[in-house]
Chains A and B, each alone.
Chain A
Amino acid sequence: MTFLNHLINGISLGSVYAIIALGYTMVYGIAKMLNFAHGDVIMVGGFVSFLTVSSAGVPAIVSVLISMAVCTVLGVLIERLAYKPLRGAPSLAVLITAIGVSYFLQNAAQLLWGSDSKVFTSVVPFNSISLAGGKLVITPESIVTVSACIVIMVALTLFTAKTKMGKAMRAVSEDKGAAQLMGINVNSTISVTFAIGSALAAIAGILLCSAYPTLSPTTGSMPGIKAFTAAVFGGIGSIPGAMLGGILLGIIEIFSKAYISTELSDAIVFAVLILVLLVKPEGLLGRHVREKV
């Protein structure tokens, strides 16, 4: 029973990683950049929801929507101000800019909301379900997180496969120049990608803070890094890959915490990542690109 409990916790944490990883993978696929600030957008999402619920007394669901809206605007704004002027610049320059944005968001949050950690009240207003005489406890947060993750993945897969914008996204990620020649507006496509990624980050932030109820300006950075490794793990640029990578990473983390060592769990997560990349350098579901001379 404890095994099942750990499994459920793992899948639940993994689903949060998966939602964050989806944002990473989409932005990487299209803009070919590591958006280091993604983790901090998660934190902003958490804070917006926290403030609207605790000070304005808005109902939980409305606060989620407000938080998504704020993060979407923030994501597009970051893209327009910091990343757009660097289109075509060397990838390291863009990486450093992303790091700058990440520092900016963390420090702005610290100035605005203080560096002490806040206690986040869960946005899910249900009680835990206990099965098998209280041995198996399923928190409502895990149910909501897992279902949100599934809904998001199905929606995103349909979106990229069926809609015009989704097709444009795939075209841009395949070949920016050719896409432009076909009449696709590359700039607006990239903006839409950032908007979707940031909205997902808001959801992930709220779910993360609901499950682990502390919130501080650095809340987002470690989950951000882990979600990025999850995206690489599953094969960067692939939507099902991000989902699979995220969930596996969550399960590995919880299991190593439970059965091996709490302190070493991060090391184990990263060691598994290294092993996978050595055996399959393109990630679990990534496409293998043949090298051409």
Chain B
Amino acid sequence: MKLKKTTKQSFITILMVVVLYIAISVAKSGGLLTYSLKGQLVPICAYIILALSLNLTVGILGELSLGHAGFMSIGAFTGAVVSMSLTGEIASSLARLVIAIVCGAILAGIFGFIIGLPVLRLKGDYLAIVTLAFGEIIKTIINCVYIGKDSNGLRFSLENAEALGLAEGGKAIIKGPMGAVNISPISTFTVGFVLILITLAIIFTLVDSRAGRAIMAIRDNRIAAESVGIPITKYKMMAFVISAALAGAGGALYALNYSTIVPTQFNYNTSILILVYVVLGGIGNMRGSVISATILVLLPELLRAVEKYRMLVYAVVLIVVMIITNNKKAKLFIANIFAKITSPIRKRIKMKHAHETDEKEEA
């Protein structure tokens, strides 16, 4: 069977995710995972989705966004409100989770459109700083929002919990700076895994389509793309909105894994954390994002042995990896060491190969 190169690469990535899922599931049922590691499974899925969605903006669209946590936050709080307000109506927690994720994605997509309108007119560092500003604005506003539910439906206020005027038996879902409380944690590892597959499928289909080629043409040379008649704004917006919606879905998955989420969790540090996953995995490389998000979410966990110094080690790892992968001298140095290690093996293979051909000739 002959496949296109890109299709083959996408296939390998999806296969890798499936194998990883099966391996982890087996390890989980075999009781090989520690308690804290089990708790990290859904966050890993959520961060993989966030890294993939940001990679769409940074790698495929070619614009640096520093406010991705804002979309995550919208998805997270929408998911929390939807899931909690449907608790009485829908008994199945899986159905509630799916509806919450879809709602989170839709609302984050709408916000992506609204924010994209002004943002996508800008370029480079200015675009980056405006996305950062939007992320902070979303955080600050959610910090002031109160949403409650009683028999009359949802209630909304910007002042305090009392101003909601909840009827008897009503409860506040989002309490301003205290965030969403008493969420029933319904996210599961399997749903997270399926969501990763859906995300990958969406991104790969987009990249391989006419729209995807147009988006990448804009990234590579905006002026040339414009001059051959590609509508710049439309395609930029398309990528940006899809990226925001996927981030919203990831956010909803993330939120429904915990019993409490607070708005300040989704600040610019979180945006930067996701960006770090994307850059370390390789900009525009989806498989890289999956791998780096998995490793980097686990890294602080794995560094528990050096508890006190783990964030320090994390920082040093970040700097060293960036220098090794981007500095010419360091690259050469690593390549030399690698060649030294592998050269005896390669020699042996060569000799063996020569030996075999000799035997063949003799025969």
B275 touches A97 (CB 8 A): no
Chain B residues near A34: list those with CB within 8 A: 125, 128
User: Once bound together, how far apart are the Cα atoms of A274 and B128, in whole Å?
Assistant: 11
298-348 of chain B: CB within 8 A of chain A: 308-309, 311-312, 314-316, 318-319, 322-323, 325-327, 329-330
User: Once bound together, how far apart are the Cα atoms of A103 and B141, in whole Å?
Assistant: 27
CB of A181, distance to nearest CB on chain B (Å) = 21
A121 CB–B CB distance under 8 Å = no
A111 CB–B CB distance under 8 Å = yes
B318 touches A99 (CB 8 A): yes
B interface footprint on A90-111 (CB within 8 Å = 1, 0 otherwise): 1011011101110110111011
The segment out of A153-161, A162-170, A225-233 that lies at the interface is A225-233
B144 touches A100 (CB 8 A): no
A132 CB–B CB distance under 8 Å = no
A236 CB–B CB distance under 8 Å = yes
B interface footprint on A249-281 (CB within 8 Å = 1, 0 otherwise): 000000000000101101100110110011001
Q: Given A225-B268, A270-B133, answer yes or no on A97-B319 (Cβ-Cβ < 8 Å).
A: yes
The segment out of A50-58, A81-89, A144-152, A192-200 that lies at the interface is A81-89
CB of A20, distance to nearest CB on chain B (Å) = 15
B316 touches A278 (CB 8 A): no
User: Who on chain A is nearest to B223 by CB?
Assistant: A293
B interface footprint on A107-124 (CB within 8 Å = 1, 0 otherwise): 110110000000000000
Q: Given A86-B323, A93-B322, answer yes or no on A99-B276 (Cβ-Cβ < 8 Å).
A: yes
B132 CB–A CB distance under 8 Å = yes
Chain A residues near B64: list those with CB within 8 A: 92, 95
User: Who on chain A is nearest to B141 by CB?
Assistant: A267
Cβ-defined partner of A104 (8 Å) among B128, B276, B316, B330: B316
B326 touches A266 (CB 8 A): no
B322 touches A86 (CB 8 A): yes
B121 touches A96 (CB 8 A): no
User: Once bound together, how far apart are the Cα atoms of A270 and B130, in whole Å?
Assistant: 8
User: Once bound together, how far apart are the Cα atoms of A108 and B269, in whole Å?
Assistant: 17
Q: Given A34-B125, A100-B319, answer yes or no on A270-B137 (Cβ-Cβ < 8 Å).
A: yes
CB of A39, distance to nearest CB on chain B (Å) = 11
A96 touches B125 (CB 8 A): no
Interface centre among A97, A229, A270, A273 (most CB of B within 10 A): A270
A271 touches B137 (CB 8 A): yes
Cβ-defined partner of B327 (8 Å) among A85, A236, A267, A293: A85
Chain A residues near B128: list those with CB within 8 A: 34
Q: Given A97-B319, A267-B141, A293-B223, answer yes or no on A107-B312 (Cβ-Cβ < 8 Å).
A: yes
A104 touches B325 (CB 8 A): no
User: Once bound together, how far apart are the Cα atoms of A85 and B328, in whole Å?
Assistant: 9
B126 CB–A CB distance under 8 Å = yes
Cβ-defined partner of A264 (8 Å) among B144, B312, B314: B144
User: Once bound together, how far apart are the Cα atoms of A263 and B136, in whole Å?
Assistant: 12
B143 CB–A CB distance under 8 Å = yes
A273 touches B133 (CB 8 A): yes
User: Once bound together, how far apart are the Cα atoms of A267 and B139, in whole Å?
Assistant: 8
Chain A residues near B323: list those with CB within 8 A: 82, 85-86, 97
B interface footprint on A33-75 (CB within 8 Å = 1, 0 otherwise): 0101000000000000000000000000000000000000000
CB of A270, distance to nearest CB on chain B (Å) = 4
A277 touches B126 (CB 8 A): yes
Chain A residues near B129: list those with CB within 8 A: 228-229, 232, 273, 277
Cβ-defined partner of A92 (8 Å) among B137, B143, B279, B312: B279
From DSSP, what is the main secondary structure of chain A's interface residues?
A: helix
User: Once bound together, how far apart are the Cα atoms of A118 and B329, in whole Å?
Assistant: 43
B312 touches A108 (CB 8 A): yes
B133 touches A107 (CB 8 A): no
User: Once bound together, how far apart are the Cα atoms of A56 and B308, in whole Å?
Assistant: 27
Cβ-defined partner of A96 (8 Å) among B141, B269, B318, B330: B318
Cβ-defined partner of B122 (8 Å) among A82, A85, A92, A277: A277
A101 touches B137 (CB 8 A): no
A101 touches B319 (CB 8 A): yes
B30 CB–A CB distance under 8 Å = no
B315 touches A263 (CB 8 A): no
CB of B327, distance to nearest CB on chain A (Å) = 4
Cβ-defined partner of B137 (8 Å) among A228, A232, A267: A267
B272 CB–A CB distance under 8 Å = yes
User: Once bound together, how far apart are the Cα atoms of A100 and B132, in whole Å?
Assistant: 18
Chain A residues near B308: list those with CB within 8 A: 111
Interface centre among B121, B223, B314, B315 (most CB of A within 10 A): B315
User: Once bound together, how far apart are the Cα atoms of A261 and B141, in whole Å?
Assistant: 11
User: Who on chain A is nearest to B121 by CB?
Assistant: A278
Residues of B participating in the A interface, judged by any CB pair closer than 8 Å: 58, 64, 118, 121-123, 125-126, 128-130, 132-134, 136-137, 140-141, 143-144, 177, 223, 268-269, 272, 275-276, 279-280, 283, 308-309, 311-312, 314-316, 318-319, 322-323, 325-327, 329-330
Q: List 14 A-B contacts (CB under 8 A).
A: A82-B323, A85-B326, A85-B329, A90-B283, A90-B326, A92-B279, A96-B276, A97-B322, A103-B314, A104-B312, A225-B136, A266-B140, A273-B129, A277-B126
- Inter-chain pairs besides A107-B312, A273-B133, 14 sampled, C-beta below 8 Å: A36-B272, A82-B323, A85-B323, A85-B327, A86-B323, A86-B327, A92-B279, A93-B325, A97-B318, A229-B129, A264-B144, A273-B129, A277-B126, A293-B223
The 10 closest A-B pairs by CB, nearest first: A100-B318, A270-B133, A103-B315, A104-B315, A89-B326, A267-B140, A100-B319, A107-B311, A85-B327, A267-B137
Residues of A participating in the B interface, judged by any CB pair closer than 8 Å: 34, 36, 82, 85-86, 89-90, 92-93, 95-97, 99-101, 103-104, 106-108, 110-111, 221, 225, 228-229, 232, 236, 261, 263-264, 266-267, 270-271, 273-274, 277-278, 281, 291, 293
